[in-house]
Amino acid sequence: MNEQTIREEFENDGGFPTLIADILTLSADVEPEMVDPGCDEPTIDCRLNYQPGRGFAFLTGNSQYDQDHRGFWGSSCVGANEDEESARDIASDLFDQVVEHVAQSEEWEQ
């Protein structure tokens, strides 16, 4: 597995347009009372999960409620009223974290 393989599978699952749309939708759901300890502004946690052969999943909320912890992950948080540029940055960061996580595993091929 390499970055090209991961990117192809990501694009088959909707890729960046779908992930950016999901982030913008999530941003619209951020409520003023959603302030985590240590944060100044309301946010919702989000994660991008990749399981080879099964694809990608975008998860939100507290990660302790995730049912399945297999695969490779990227994580971030989404604030209220994110614009398309910041949503694109968050999506890119999530994907890059997944690729980095895979690269650190035994499944990575040069």
Whole-structure pTM value: 0.89
d(CA 44, CA 22): 12
The answer to the question of residue 36 being in a domain is yes
Q: Which amino acid, 85? A: E
Q: Which amino acid, 76? A: S
The answer to the question of residue 108 being in a domain is no
Q: Tell me, what's the pLDDT at 110?
A: 57
| CATH number, domain containing residue 53 | 3.55.40
Q: Tell me, what's the pLDDT at 83?
A: 96
Whole domain around residue 52: which residue ranges?
A: 3-103
Rg (CA), the chain: 14
For residue range 45-72, what is the model confidence (pLDDT) as tens digits?
899 999 998 999 999 987 766 677 788 9
The answer to the question of residue 72 being in a domain is yes
Q: Tell me, what's the pLDDT at 37?
A: 67
The answer to the question of residue 98 being in a domain is yes
Q: Is the four-CA dihedral 102, 104, 109, 110 of positive or negative sign?
A: positive
Question: What residues in the chain have per-residue pLDDT under 70?
Answer: 37-38, 64-66, 110
How many of the other CB atoms lie within 10 Å of CB of 19? 23
How is residue 56 written in tokens?
Answer: 């990608």
Domain count, the chain: 1
35 Ramachandran zone, left/alpha/beta (phi>0; psi -120 to 50): beta
Q: Tell me, what's the pLDDT at 35?
A: 74
Q: Tell me, what's the pLDDT at 64?
A: 67
